[in-house]
């Protein structure tokens, strides 16, 4: 079983002719709403790939809570440890997209910010028996640290989004940053070359292994003294939203099945590559049969 401890956000997306500057009002197009949040995306990614997934999180008592709970439940995710919290809104992301596809995003964490150590302790039985526990940075450090401490299996930590001052748990088995998040964790400039990535990743001493996702350049896997660059699969990307979430969900599924880090990282690259060929976050996430067919060529 895979435990995902993290955020659930309802994404509200509005097309705009141009982004407003402070003090300005712009008229946008029709609003669309989609289930999102890194926790929910990674849980759906893992469930769609055949993982048995349980979620630890918080929503409010508003309509958005129902939308988010239905979205993860429909994918087969166990929601018994998602707590409804009175007097606070469900997390939302307000996303404006201009004609060039550039986003500005405001995240209102709402109930996600209330997730705490006690919530993780209430889910201790689940966390202890999970083969993999998956964490990100859209809930308080306190919750992540408690979950990592209680986890009986592999702890997979995705330090996303890069939040200034966020502190990963002291011991993580697999740390999965992208280039920007690696720079935020190590206080170095965003690494450009593979050598720069290796040098920065070596500074992360609290993790058993580090997998740096490099977009169209694939991933860099660092385990002990050795490192391995795994190139990305060649696809025609149309929307890379949630590529990292797709990768983390897939990695959790394959690690829970007992594959090696290298095998898991290669398989997760395939799942993530497929997700870049389709629009949206959760709609773009691959099913297991699609990954198998993709790898069979």
| Contact status, residue 107 vs residue 84, Cβ threshold 8 Å | no
For ligand ADP, the binding residues in 41-70 under the rule CB under 6 A are none
Which residues lie closer than 8 Å to 24 by C-beta, 6 or more apart?
none
Separation between Cα atoms, residue 295 and residue 271, nearest integer Å: 9
Cα 128 from chain centroid (whole Å): 21
Strand stretches in the chain, DSSP E:
2-5, 9-15, 32-36, 53-59, 78-84, 91-97, 103-108, 132-136, 154-158, 172-175, 207-213, 219-223, 226-230
Of how many residues is the chain composed? 297
Closer to ligand ADP by CB, 12 or 214: give it: 214
Closer to ligand ADP by CB, 85 or 254: give it: 254
Among the listed residues 44, 71, 232, 256, the single contact to ligand ADP using CB under 6 A: 232
Q: Which stretch binds ligand ADP (CB under 6 A): 2-10, 58-66, 125-133, 267-275?
A: 267-275
Is there binding between residue 233 and ligand ADP (CB under 6 A)? Answer: yes
Catalytic pick among 195, 239, 245, 292: 245
* Strand 9-15 relative to strand 32-36, pairing: antiparallel
According to DSSP, the residues that pair with 155 across neighbouring strands are: 133
Is there binding between residue 237 and ligand ADP (CB under 6 A)? Answer: yes
We find the least distance from the C-beta atom of residue 268 to ligand ADP, in angstroms, to be 7
| Contact status, residue 68 vs residue 59, Cβ threshold 8 Å | yes
Q: Which residue is nearest to ligand ADP (CB)?
A: 244
Separation between Cα atoms, residue 38 and residue 66, nearest integer Å: 18
We find the least distance from the C-beta atom of residue 108 to ligand ADP, in angstroms, to be 21
Binding string to ligand ADP for residues 163 to 202, with x set by CB under 6 A, is what? ---------------x------------------------
Q: Which stretch binds ligand ADP (CB under 6 A): 15-23, 28-36, 243-251, 254-262?
A: 243-251
Among the listed residues 62, 235, 259, 294, the single contact to ligand ADP using CB under 6 A: 235
Among the listed residues 247, 252, 281, 286, the single contact to ligand ADP using CB under 6 A: 247
Active site residue 245: yes
Q: How many residues belong to the site for ligand ADP (CB under 6 A)? A: 20
H/E element, 50? none
Closer to ligand ADP by CB, 155 or 269: give it: 269
Is there binding between residue 155 and ligand ADP (CB under 6 A)? Answer: no
Separation between Cα atoms, residue 106 and residue 91, nearest integer Å: 11
Cα 278 from chain centroid (whole Å): 17
* Strand 207-213 relative to strand 9-15, pairing: unpaired
We find the least distance from the C-beta atom of residue 39 to ligand ADP, in angstroms, to be 14
We find the least distance from the C-beta atom of residue 57 to ligand ADP, in angstroms, to be 20
Nearest alpha-carbon partner for 2 in 188, 258, 261: 258
Q: Which stretch binds ligand ADP (CB under 6 A): 8-16, 35-43, 182-190, 227-235?
A: 227-235
Is there binding between residue 273 and ligand ADP (CB under 6 A)? Answer: yes
Query: How many C-beta atoms surround the C-beta of residue 267 within 10 A?
Result: 22
**Which residues are part of the catalytic machinery?**
245
Interface residues with ligand ADP (CB under 6 A)?
160, 178, 213-216, 218-219, 232-233, 235, 237, 240, 243-244, 247, 269, 272-273, 276
């Amino acid at each position: 079983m895979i435990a995902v401890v993290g955020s659930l956000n309802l994404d509200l997306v509005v097309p705009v002719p141009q982004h407003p500057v402070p003090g300005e009002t712009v008229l946008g197009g029709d609003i669309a709403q989609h289930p999102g949040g890194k926790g929910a995306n990674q849980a759906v990614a893992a469930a769609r790939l055949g993982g048995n997934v349980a979620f630890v999180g918080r929503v409010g008592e508003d309509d958005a809570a129902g939308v988010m709970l239905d979205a993860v439940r429909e994918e087969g995710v166990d929601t018994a440890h998602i707590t409804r919290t009175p007097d606070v809104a469900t997390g939302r992301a307000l996303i404006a997209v201009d004609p060039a596809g550039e986003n500005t995003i405001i995240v209102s964490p709402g109930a996600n910010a209330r997730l705490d150590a006690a919530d993780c302790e209430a889910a201790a039985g689940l966390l202890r028996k999970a083969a993999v526990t998956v964490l990100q940075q859209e809930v308080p450090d306190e919750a992540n640290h408690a979950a990592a401490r209680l986890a009986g299996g592999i702890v997979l930590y995705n330090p996303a989004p890069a939040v200034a001052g966020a502190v990963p748990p002291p011991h993580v088995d697999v740390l999965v940053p992208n280039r920007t998040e690696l720079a935020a964790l190590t206080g170095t400039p965003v690494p450009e070359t593979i050598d720069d990535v290796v040098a920065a990743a070596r500074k992360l001493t609290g993790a058993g292994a580090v997998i740096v996702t490099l977009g169209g350049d694939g991933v860099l896997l660092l385990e002990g003294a050795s490192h391995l660059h795994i190139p990305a699969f060649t696809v025609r990307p149309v929307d890379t939203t949630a590529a990292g979430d797709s990768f983390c969900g897939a990695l959790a599924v394959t690690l829970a099945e007992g594959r090696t880090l290298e095998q898991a990282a290669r398989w997760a690259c395939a799942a993530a590559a497929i997700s870049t060929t389709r629009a949206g976050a959760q709609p773009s996430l691959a099913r297991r049969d699609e990954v198998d067919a993709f790898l069979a060529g």
